[in-house]
Amino acid sequence: MRTPMTTDFPRHNHVYRTPRGLQLCGDSAELLARLPDQSADLILTSPPFALLRKKTYGNAEQDQYVEWLGRFGESAYRVLKDSGSFVLDLGGAYQRGKPVRSLYNYRVLLDFCDRLGYELAEEFFWFNPAKLPSPIEWVNKRKIRAKDAVNTIWWFSRCAEPKADVTRVLAPYSQRMKMLLKDPERFYRPKERPSGHDIAKTFGKENGGAIPSNLLQIPNTESNSAYLRLCKMLGRNSHPARFPSALPQFFIKFLTDPGDVVVDIFSGSNTTGQAAELLGRRWLSMELDREYAVLSAVRFMGRWSDDDVRQTIARLDAGEVVEIDDASLPIDVSEATSSVPEAGVLFPR
């Protein structure tokens, strides 16, 4: 039996609600302190990276970054269930003034494990083939480095065996594998392997897909989404650091069950919240910048009229907490469940 996640956030932190979730505005370390112990099944987030150039959404200096992020990691550890996971997406960076890589993302890894007590369940690497060449000085101008197109994603957990089911994120079979499945004996006649495995018999079974690797190839090529279209219609600047929806969807399917609680502590444009809503999970998103938190509501207004979007955003700008019905969202019926508690159970008014 599920234990309802009950808490009470000050009204001024509320931005909007959906049937399954709540967007908050405020310091996520302070907001996490209001959540009960072991109440989140998955914390999935992409914080501002430790880049050399300051961004409009705010990012800590490299020499301060580990300590800064550790503050949030410590708060999150208490909130995470014993069976839960903390998935952290971090981009790479260079040291100032020289073509030498910063080790900040690996120092974060060691700090979370050695000081805060997390386990490293597995490391993932997100390869974005659409990423532009950077940094300009070393890649474009002097041409002495390859472009940086991979983020490290640390999958942390509180215990050695967190909840996980890789069969929910199977990858499509290759053409060769499809041929093997169709006629294992005809397509593949191997010699006996040193391991003793018979490839045709061991792997010639239809399992609905291939086991994915920890290298996730997901292009970040959003250009005509409802979010960007509505931001343009409103004359607002979209959040500049958005990851593709396929990334949080992968980990939400992999590490949670329908009705579980997914938390994003640096929600930005709230890609995570939207993915959780689509997959029938309850969600809680936290964003420090109120303009970005308000604007993220358009992710749940994809089929609304422009006038309705304008009026609702105006109400949010005025401080009204709006209930946004997600009826227009194409819910994934294979993941959603009729037994999912309503948002009011998760976040009592």
User: Is 41 part of the annotated catalytic residue set?
Assistant: no
180 shares its domain with 230? no
In this predicted model, which residue has the larger pLDDT, 186 or 215? 215
Contact 43, 80 (CB under 8 A): yes
Q: For the chain, how many structural domains are there in total?
A: 2
Q: Name the domain boundary from 209, 231, 263.
A: 209
Percent residues over pLDDT 90 in the chain: 65
* Residue bearing the bigger pLDDT, 100 or 342: 100
Catalytic pick from 46, 85, 102, 157? 46
Q: Which of 209, 228, 262 represents a domain boundary (last residue)?
A: 209
Amino acid 174: pLDDT: 66
Indicate whether 218 and 331 sit together in one domain.
yes
Which of these is catalytic: 19, 28, 39, 47?
47
Whether 5 maps to a domain, the answer reads: no
Length of the chain: 349
- Residue at 6 is within a domain: no
Reduced to 3 states (helix: H, G, I; strand: E, B; else coil), residue 105 is helix
Q: Looking at the structure, do residues 22 and 53 belong to the same domain, yes or no?
A: yes
CA angle 9, 12, 14 (to 5 degrees): 60
Which residue among 185, 209, 233 closes a domain?
A: 209
Q: Which of 105, 238, 226, 250 is nearest to 169 (CA)?
A: 250
pLDDT of residue 64: 86
* Co-location of 33 and 79 in the same domain: yes
d(CA 183, CA 217): 29
Residue 8 belongs to a domain: no
Position 51 scores a pLDDT of 52
Kindly name the residue from 39, 75, 85, 89 that is annotated as catalytic: 89
Q: What is the mean pLDDT of the chain?
A: 85
245 is catalytic: no
Q: Are residues 116 and 202 in the same domain?
A: no
Residues 38 and 166 in one domain: yes
What's the pTM value of the predicted model, to 2 decimals?
A: 0.85
Q: What is the CATH number of the domain that holds 98?
A: 3.40.50.150
- Greatest mean pLDDT among 11-20, 43-52, 221-230 lies in 11-20
Q: How are strands ordered across the β-sheet holding 14-17?
A: 215-217, 119-127, 150-157, 80-90, 40-45, 261-264, 282-287, 21-25, 14-17, 322-323
Rounded to 5 degrees, φ, ψ at 90 are: -130, 130
Asked about 89 being catalytic, the answer comes back as yes
Quick one: 215 and 151 in the same domain? yes
- Please indicate, yes or no, whether residues 142 and 161 belong to a single structural domain of this protein: yes
Same domain, 89 and 151: yes
256 found inside a domain? yes
**Residue range 71-91, pLDDT digits in tens:** 999 999 999 999 999 999 999
Instruction: Give residue-wise pLDDT tens across range 134-165.
Output: 888 999 999 999 999 999 999 999 999 999 99
Residue 348 in this model has a pLDDT that exceeds 70: no
pLDDT band (50, 70, 90) for residue 223:
low
pLDDT at 326: 57
Confidence class of residue 175 from pLDDT cuts 50, 70 and 90? Answer: low
In a domain, residue 298? The reply is: yes
The string of pLDDT tens digits covering residues 240-250 is 778 899 999 99
- Residue 89: which domain range? 15-171+211-346
Identify whether 105 is part of a domain. yes
> pLDDT tens digits, residue range 262-320?
999 999 999 999 999 999 999 999 999 999 999 999 999 999 999 999 999 999 999 99
| Same domain flag for 139 and 262 | yes
Question: Could you tell me how far CA 107 lies from the centroid of its own chain?
Answer: 21
Domain presence at residue 218: yes
* Shared domain check, 310 and 200: no
163 and 181 fall within a common domain: no
Average pLDDT on 65-71 reads: 94
Residue 3 in domain: no
